[in-house]
Amino acid sequence: MELKPTKPLSGFIELTPLQQRCFDCCAARMLDVLRVAGFSYLDLPAIERAEVLTDKDNWDEIETQMFLFQKGDTKMGLRYDGTVGLSRYVAGHLNDLTFPFRASQFSKRYRGERAQRGRYREFYQMDMDIMGIEKMSINYDAEIISVIQRALNSVSNFIGENCVRIGSRPFWDALFDYLGLNAEQKKQVFILIDKRDKIGDQEFANWLNETLKDEKLENEIKSVFTKGCDNFMNKNSNLDAAIRELKEFMELLKQMGVKNAEIDLSITRGLAYYTGIVFEFKLLSYPEFGTAAGGGRYENLASKFSKTKIVGTGAAIGFSRIFVALMDAGKIDLSQFENPIVAAVLPMGDSSVPFAASVVNTLRDENITTVAYLDAEKKFKNQIEYADKIMAKFSIIIGEDEVKSKLLTVKNMATGEQQKLTVADAVKLLKTA
Amino acid sequence: MELKPTKPLSGFIELTPLQQRCFDCCAARMLDVLRVAGFSYLDLPAIERAEVLTDKDNWDEIETQMFLFQKGDTKMGLRYDGTVGLSRYVAGHLNDLTFPFRASQFSKRYRGERAQRGRYREFYQMDMDIMGIEKMSINYDAEIISVIQRALNSVSNFIGENCVRIGSRPFWDALFDYLGLNAEQKKQVFILIDKRDKIGDQEFANWLNETLKDEKLENEIKSVFTKGCDNFMNKNSNLDAAIRELKEFMELLKQMGVKNAEIDLSITRGLAYYTGIVFEFKLLSYPEFGTAAGGGRYENLASKFSKTKIVGTGAAIGFSRIFVALMDAGKIDLSQFENPIVAAVLPMGDSSVPFAASVVNTLRDENITTVAYLDAEKKFKNQIEYADKIMAKFSIIIGEDEVKSKLLTVKNMATGEQQKLTVADAVKLLKTA
């Protein structure tokens, strides 16, 4: 019989137990930041109706990237982000939720695109959203940014410091209106601005020329990136309002204790549903890993599910993107996760198993991470080798003598030091390990 | 525009934030029991190659219940259990792992079958497995049972006590051989025994008669359930060995501190890969909810992936099955999860927001779950109503006076009592809340 492949499908992540412990530790710390910030954790289905996933208003590219399938008469697919399910959920529970409603999610997302380096087909994102009915203060946008920074800071010993760049959709909308662009030009220029970071100044200029064929317009747009938005003050009231909002927002971030924040009008977050302030986080030590988190303000989250206008502000942290990429590149120090096992209990012969099992139970009751080697008829040499390989901090050797005397032989695996201890004294020693 | 449905697909679970907090709390406690018992947590892909999922040796019914789909040339599908991925993973990492290797999983599984009451198409199972190469002591089977009971006991304040029934595959194999059944009869009778719990004594007898058409054979098999296995001692050595193993195993469970364990030879765990001791847990208070956990010994886990013989013992806890069913039936007391928010900070006007934000940061730094109402221009009435609705334990009201004096107005939402406190004193008060 031919053996089947043991590698996962390309684009799917499989961590070692060591990496997994670090991944889980970071997720737990960050989720705890969200919990303490009052976000309600939601665990929504990974499968949605196709009609829920594929909205014609959405970016076409997203659709082709989806895992879609049919079961019976029902077309369905795997979610590609956290927003689609959240909007359905909130629209369906308008009367059960208190607004502003803070929601967090941490779940797998799926994209069917061909796997590339650093692009996964199954990956975790951590989402947080604050939603309200009809209207919400821009203060919440600042809070989201503050909470993301707190979450990233909670694992800064692994990923270092972060910075956030702030953009404004209203600024571009007002500028395009002021410059008199038509709808198609607006869309095309917007796509270009979104890509500017990747394609570089020169290509940006070329494409801009291709799109607008009007040097004066092109120069006005390019000047945003050289002279900043101040250049467009006192042109009209919409532009003034957008620029003032952005500047006041930066001041608010400072007052909220957000560090390393700066305006960057090239941040637009694509053609998605954002309508106000938008932002992207990067890791200061690893800018080459790209966006660590991004989000912004939306004005009508659930229009396809409800006539009630749900506004809000939200963001997703590219959790797998950050942690798997950094671990794969050897950038994360995993040493503290290397030996989670405190005690390896080694019974010498099956007659020692009952007492050994009671010792194991006692240690586990005391929250001491303990395994037992229960092929008790194996030689001492095999057993101690096992304790060594799993990097247990202590071995507890239980033979006939120990069963009789109820005194355990406790061996410190780092120093080789061995001592006879009562179970109670062993617990005391191991608790400090 | 027609609005899209806000309900999830049938068979998919969606909890309220309150239910979710209970669900997550129970999962965390149980996973902690597994961690302390030295199990390495694995988070494997939810999507596997179709050839990995659909083994011809498997039960046909399983195949039709799968979510299978194609992306490019690759046929793939969603996992229906934790074992298929685990066996692939372990076979692919034989040299990276130390055996016996303890693995735990807690992940979503998918079954495409038509949704029925209590049957989900997406659900969580919590798996634990101990695997070895070639040979492993039956002591590990006892450990798995002990660890499951510890895990279930860790949430006994929600689900009550549990019991475990133990069956033996070798007993039936030896009995069928002793009775001289042919291969097809063995398979058919085995399926019947597995279904006996559901179909009842009379239907079992009828079907048995249909299958065997031999009163003497039928009576021998039925006598297992009336007279127990002792009746078959001293017939032949295989039967003797199987019966002795089972009895010694029960003794071992007792020595390991397992409670409420009894022999039940109708436990067979279907036609799956089990080869030795098999077992099923039920909840003593809710037997009507069926199997809470089940598992057993397997002799060759990864034969389709590796020539190395991986033996082991493992089990799955039907996590969603237990908790969602009990919550839906109103059997779980959720009161302790009702008010997770300790402090609601209410700034009176945008000029109070910066100081309010600094208070929020301080409280969150102190691990006090805190939200802020940041539509600061809204009236006091709206803000306090919000604090009331989310069942915050305290409101912290910050107006002009508080900003100037740096003294917070702290209101106990249960008693209505209000006091002026420094931030430091407020932290002290809220920490004890």
Look up the CATH number of the domain holding residue A415: 3.40.50.800
Task: Show the domain range for A362.
Answer: 339-431
- Residue B40 maps to a domain: yes
Q: How far apart are CA A156 and CA A149, in angstroms?
A: 10
With contact defined as beta carbons under 8 Å apart, do B342 and B411 qualify?
no
With contact defined as beta carbons under 8 Å apart, do A113 and A121 qualify?
yes
pLDDT in the model for residue B118? 63
Tokens for B74? 């690759």
Which among B23, B69, B140 has CB closest to A374? Answer: B140
Q: Locate tokens 């608790």: which residue? A: A431
With contact defined as beta carbons under 8 Å apart, do A322 and A152 qualify?
no
- Residue A215 maps to a domain: no
Q: Which of A375, A377, A382 to mutate to test the interface with B (most CBs of B within 10 A)?
A: A375
Rounded to an integer, the average pLDDT of B169-195 is 93
Does the beta-carbon distance from B357 to A88 stay under 8 Å?
no
Three-class SS state of A282: strand
Three-class SS state of B107: strand
**Who wins on pLDDT, A114 or B19?**
B19
Distance between B256 CA and the closest CA of chain A, angstroms: 5
- Residue B63 maps to a domain: yes
- State yes or no: pLDDT of B429 exceeds 70: yes
Q: How far apart are CA A285 and CA B68, in angstroms?
A: 42
Over residues B130-178, the pLDDT tens digits come to 999 999 999 999 999 999 999 999 999 999 999 999 999 999 999 999 9
Write out the H or E segment, with its range, that includes residue A190.
helix A183-212
With contact defined as beta carbons under 8 Å apart, do A53 and A45 qualify?
no
Strand extents, DSSP E, A200-273: 261-263
Nearest residue in A to B23, CA atom? A43
The B47-49 sheet, strands edge to edge: B47-49, B74-78, B68-71
- State yes or no: pLDDT of B276 exceeds 90: yes
Residues A55 and A137 in one domain: yes
Last residue of a domain, one of B293, B328, B363: B328
pLDDT in the model for residue A59? 42
pLDDT in the model for residue A117? 62
- Residue A181 maps to a domain: no
Q: How far apart are CA A175 and CA B280, in angstroms?
A: 67
Residues B289 and B401 in one domain: no
Q: How far apart are CA B297 and CA B151, in angstroms?
A: 19
Q: How far apart are CA A15 and CA B196, in angstroms?
A: 42
Compute CA distances B11 → A40, A244, B31, B63, B112, whole Å: 23, 50, 25, 18, 9
Q: With b meaning 16 or more CB within 10 Å and e meaning fewer, what string describes B129-164? A: bbbbeeebbbbbbbbbbbbbbbbbbbbeebbeebbb
pLDDT in the model for residue B63? 57
Residues B289 and B415 in one domain: no
Query: Which of B250, B201, B253 lies closest to B226 in space, CA to CA?
Result: B201
Nearest residue in B to A347, CA atom? B139
Last residue of a domain, one of B328, B358, B384: B328
Q: How far apart are CA A24 and CA A336, in angstroms?
A: 13
Does the beta-carbon distance from B41 to A21 stay under 8 Å?
yes
* Backbone conformation region of residue B134, classed left if phi is above 0, alpha if psi is from -120 to 50, else beta: left
Does the beta-carbon distance from A140 to B374 stay under 8 Å?
yes
- State yes or no: pLDDT of B58 exceeds 60: no
Distance between A117 CA and the closest CA of chain B, angstroms: 18
Which among B14, B36, B44 has CB closest to A45? Answer: B14
Last residue of a domain, one of A270, A305, A328: A328
Peptide bond into A347 cis (omega under 30): no
pLDDT in the model for residue B117? 62
Does the beta-carbon distance from B48 to A9 stay under 8 Å?
yes
Cα A200 to chain center, whole Å?
27
Adjacent-strand bridge partners of B394 = B343, B412
Which among A14, A367, A375 has CB closest to B45? Answer: A14
With contact defined as beta carbons under 8 Å apart, do B141 and B33 qualify?
no
With contact defined as beta carbons under 8 Å apart, do B129 and B42 qualify?
no
Does the beta-carbon distance from A69 to B67 stay under 8 Å?
yes
Q: What angle do CA B368, B374, B375 make, to 5 degrees?
A: 150
pLDDT in the model for residue A118? 62
Residues A323 and A373 in one domain: no
Distance between A89 CA and the closest CA of chain B, angstroms: 6
Cα B93 to chain center, whole Å?
25
Query: Which of A6, A74, A85 lies closest to A52 in space, CA to CA?
Result: A85
- Residue B269 maps to a domain: no
With contact defined as beta carbons under 8 Å apart, do B104 and B126 qualify?
yes
How many domains does chain A divide into? Answer: 2
Rounded to an integer, the average pLDDT of B394-411 is 97
Adjacent-strand bridge partners of B412 = B394
Residues B23 and B58 in one domain: yes
Residues A405 and A298 in one domain: no
Nearest residue in B to A96, CA atom? B16
Residues A305 and A346 in one domain: no
Query: Which of A253, A309, A99, A194 lies closest to B389 in space, CA to CA?
Result: A99
Residue B100 CB coordination number (10 Å): 25
DSSP B2: P
Adjacent-strand bridge partners of B371 = B344
Q: How far apart are CA B137 and CA A361, in angstroms?
A: 19
Give 10-residue mean pLDDT values along chain A (433 residues): 90 95 98 98 96 64 73 88 95 96 98 74 97 96 98 97 97 95 92 89 93 94 92 94 97 96 92 89 94 95 93 96 93 93 97 96 97 97 97 97 97 97 98 91
Residues B406 and B302 in one domain: no
pLDDT in the model for residue A379? 96
DSSP A271: T
With contact defined as beta carbons under 8 Å apart, do A97 and A90 qualify?
yes
Residues B311 and B391 in one domain: no
Q: Locate tokens 């290397």: which residue? A: A338
Is the pTM higher than 0.90? The answer reads yes
Distance between B127 CA and the closest CA of chain A, angstroms: 15
Q: How far apart are CA B63 and CA B153, in angstroms?
A: 34
Residues A155 and A23 in one domain: yes
pLDDT in the model for residue B115? 61
Q: Which of B71, B146, B368 to mutate to test the interface with A (most CBs of A within 10 A)?
A: B71
- Residue A352 maps to a domain: yes
Does the beta-carbon distance from A255 to B72 stay under 8 Å?
no
Residues A103 and A64 in one domain: yes
- Residue A294 maps to a domain: yes
Tokens for B76? 């793939």
Over residues B296-336, the pLDDT tens digits come to 999 988 899 999 999 999 999 999 999 999 999 999 999 99
Write the DSSP string, A166-177.
EEEHHHHHHHHH
Residues B320 and B370 in one domain: no
DSSP A393: S
The overall average pLDDT reported for chain B is 93
Nearest residue in A to B257, CA atom? A358
Q: How far apart are CA A258 and CA B250, in angstroms?
A: 61
- Residue A141 maps to a domain: yes
Farthest-apart Cα atoms in chain B, separation: 94
pLDDT in the model for residue A62? 53
Does the beta-carbon distance from B42 to A67 stay under 8 Å?
no
Does the beta-carbon distance from A47 to B12 stay under 8 Å?
yes
Distance between A213 CA and the closest CA of chain B, angstroms: 38
DSSP B100: S
